[in-house]
Amino acid sequence: MLCTITCRAIASILAFLVGCAVFEIARPTDELRLPEPKSQILSISMQRRGCSDAEQKCPVFDVTFRSDGTCEFIGYANDEFIGKYEGEYNLEDFAYLADQVNKQGFFELPLEMPEGPLEETVAVEVITTNSAKRLTTQNWAGTPSGLRALQAVIEQQTYEVEWEEHP
């Protein structure tokens, strides 16, 4: 009888060890897969074309902020800066802009904005290490609040840079 119990105990232990080995070999690969690298924002651009102001005196410009601390501004109309300008800014300001891109859900917004009256055209483009996304809006009322907030932050940063005219 002792031999029978011992054999059963040994068989149970061996079955347990074989089961553990099989589980380790056939374990789901999710745990073994390396996480995908998080994309890094390389540049943030905004193009502003016209506005809903009754006098149509809104600035018309293109601005680009790059992750290396350089930026470029091209003013076309209704601004004290007309022409091409270059500048440098604090990298913490770019980190703040990039943080706002993520906080305002820029990458989750649909590519098409709701139709509405053509009052103003503002395009925001974000280039990352993995992709690029550009959203264009035609009027303030149809622009999602997160995108409006992002546009306001980019415009504020635009006027805080000390621009130098590009020859």
Residues 21-54 have pLDDT tens digits of 555 655 555 555 555 556 799 999 999 887 766 6
d(CA 100, CA 152): 11
In this structure, the answer to whether residues 50 and 128 fall within a common structural domain is: yes
What pLDDT is stored for residue 74 in this prediction? 93
Given a cut of 90, is residue 88 above it in pLDDT? Answer: yes
pLDDT band at 78 (very low <50, low <70, confident <90, very high): confident
Number of domains in the chain: 2
Contact 153, 126 (CB under 8 A): no
**CA angle 37–32–42, rounded 5-degree value:** 0
* pTM, two decimal places: 0.72
In this structure, the answer to whether residues 45 and 27 fall within a common structural domain is: no
In this structure, the answer to whether residues 52 and 110 fall within a common structural domain is: yes
In this structure, the answer to whether residues 26 and 96 fall within a common structural domain is: no
Enclosing domain of residue 23: 1-33
